Amino acid sequence: MWAAFVRQIAAYAITRRGKKLFALVGVLLLCFATALLIDMQFYTSAAFTAVLAGFSGIAYGVQHVRLKRAEREYLRRKAEQARQRAIAAQARVDRIDNAKSAVGNAAGAAARAAGESVVAVANEAVLVVTETAEAVAGAGRRVAGVAEAVAHAGTVILARGWRTVAR
């Protein structure tokens, strides 16, 4: 059970918040130890712990001020980045609107050009279809001729073979 408790404390101690808390607790413990030593009339030891507590308190305060300053700087940078992203997004929207209008104009011009040349395209399509049909018909005739030649050659070979068997 104690191992789990120590593990949880160690996990908390490695976080930023845990480090701040343990540093503050350390400073407070030094102050408490100083008060106890003064109460027990150990003035030399109390002076030493008071000096340690003072330096630790000053270091904690300086570190706290630095962290707060860094946090404010981070938030300022984030706000500036958000502002820059908003400006960039607005510029993208403007470019998209310009592109849409340009595409609309180009589409209108393309529709007019297509309307003017639809007859030429239709004539080309009819010509291509006619040529393709003639090519397919010619290929069919060639295939039929080859099949007929193969059938004739087979008949001749069978007739010769029958004659030799009949003799």
- 110-133: pLDDT as tens digits: 777 766 677 676 777 778 788 888
Q: The pTM is what?
A: 0.42
What residue segments make up the domains of the chain, in order of their start?
2-120
Tokens of 73: 């700087």
Q: Is the dihedral of CA 100, 102, 104, 110 positive or negative?
A: negative
Minimum mean pLDDT among 1-5, 27-31, 119-123, 127-131: which range? 119-123
pLDDT above 70: residue 166: no
Terminal Cα distance for the chain, rounded: 112
24 neighbors 50 (Cβ within 8 angstroms): no
Q: Where are the alpha helices (DSSP H) in the chain?
A: 2-13, 16-39, 43-166
CA distances 107 to 88, 102, 103, 119, Å, are: 28, 8, 6, 19
